Amino acid sequence: MGGDEGLPVTVPACLAFAQKYPDSQLLLVGLSDELNEALSRVLKSYPHVSPDRYQVVSATEVVSMDDPVEVALRRKKDSSMRVAAQLVKDGLADACVSAGNTGAWMAISRYVLKTIDGIDRPAIATMLPNQKGGVTTMLDLGANVDCTAEHLLQFAIMGTALAQVSKIDSEPSVGLLNIGEEVIKGNDVVKQAAELLRASKLNFYGNIEGDDIFKGTVDVVVCDGFVGNVVLKSVEGLARMLATMIRQEFQRSLFTKLMGLVALPVLRRFRKRVDNRQYNGAALLGLRGVVIKSHGSADVFAFGCALERANDAVTSDLLARTAAAITQMNQSRVIESATSSGADA
């Protein structure tokens, strides 16, 4: 029910996903009358999706994009978000995806599913393309505006686990986003986080700057949710601006139009490479369930990519493997701390 466009985007995307993945089953959660009406309008475009492939799960309330977290969590107890998260908790769904209110989705998911042992706050993580032809995992992207140094360390642990599960590297490098590479740079929280990361068992590269994100300097970029969200929105805006500028430039004259035709194959490859829609679908890491947040402005293609992120998370057993990696890393910290204390004594 969420997102800027709602059902005209989410329902076709779900049916397209079902058609692409014939072994999948969909639980479409929301206002049943509106969902059934939306299905009736587009079902003919997806002839290979039989009625037994999807089920409408009724919810009597919807969290709006501007609802405060308190309203979503305490007053709308039968919202589509709440029902979807409960389906995961009850084992009736393997994952849930929403393009709705980010704050509400995070709060509801955390309340219903709870966090993994050793994690205080979930974080929003996604993968961004880099110049090396791979991807860079970045978190947090907006779930936690105010963070402690310990929270940033936990984000690094979760990001490392996600990168390992995604087979980026067996020992992913971690960078702490800062205003400079020097140890003396940054506020107190960032400096303290750097100290914790240097003392951890993680492959800590050190401080990195904003341009390192897309250079592929490190495999995992860690920051608080305020900074991460600003970076993400800036990148999305830049991608749209570049696409518009290129289109306008090749429409200026007959010569530039001809040049555009010559360069069309290259431009198409470039557009596909930088199309932020294909990277839509951020994982809410640290929860006892697979939860994916889609961008609110997602179109049918982008929301379909978010569904694919959920499918990948389930098929790769992301939840269990991430939890195991977090447990192992936390145990290493406890053993190291105990050994250090014994040596001091």
Q: Is the pLDDT of residue 220 over 90?
A: yes
Q: Cβ distance 231 to 210 under 8 Å?
A: yes
Q: How many residues does the chain have?
A: 345
What 3-state class would DSSP assign to 68?
coil
Enumerate the β-bridge partners of residue 291: 96
- Rounded to the nearest integer, the mean pLDDT of the chain is 86
**pLDDT, position 56:** 97
Strands (E), the chain: 26-30, 54-58, 95-98, 123-129, 135-139, 173-177, 203-208, 220-222, 282-285, 290-293
Average pLDDT over residues 319-327: 77
Please, which pLDDT band fits residue 324 given cuts at 50, 70 and 90?
confident
User: Do 162 and 119 form a contact (C-beta atoms < 8 A)?
Assistant: no
Share of the chain above pLDDT 90, in %: 58
3 state DSSP class of 97: strand
Q: Quote the crossing angle between the two packed helices 225-249 and 254-274, to the nearest 10°.
A: 150
**What band does 301 get if pLDDT is binned at 50, 70 and 90?**
very high
Q: Which residues pair with 173 in a beta bridge?
A: 203
| Structural domains present in the chain | 1-113 (3.40.718.10), 116-292+308-345 (3.40.718.10)
Q: What is the tens place of the pLDDT at every residue in 3-54? A: 899 999 999 999 999 999 999 999 999 999 999 999 999 999 998 899 999 9
Cite the DSSP H helix spans in 200-253. Answer: 212-215, 225-249
For the ranges 86-100, 235-249, 274-288, 327-341, the maximum mean pLDDT occurs at 86-100
Task: Specify the pLDDT at position 284.
Answer: 92
Q: Is the pLDDT of residue 298 over 60?
A: yes
CA-based radius of gyration for the chain: 22
pTM for this predicted structure: 0.81
Q: How many C-beta atoms lie closer than 10 Å to residue 245's C-beta? A: 10
Say which amino acid occupies 92: L
Stretch 301-323: mean pLDDT, rounded?
A: 88
Residue 335 or residue 75, greater confidence: 75
- Phi first, then psi: what are they for 26, rounded to 5°? -115, 135
pLDDT at residue 260, as a whole number: 56
Instruction: Name the least confident of 62-71, 107-116, 327-336.
Output: 327-336
Maximum alpha-carbon separation in the chain: 80
And the tokens for 91? 């084992």
Q: Name which residue leads in pLDDT, 280 or 176.
A: 176
How far apart CA 318 and CA 148 sit, in angstroms, is 26
Look at residue 229 and give its three-state secondary structure: helix
Q: What is the mean pLDDT of residues 184-206?
A: 92
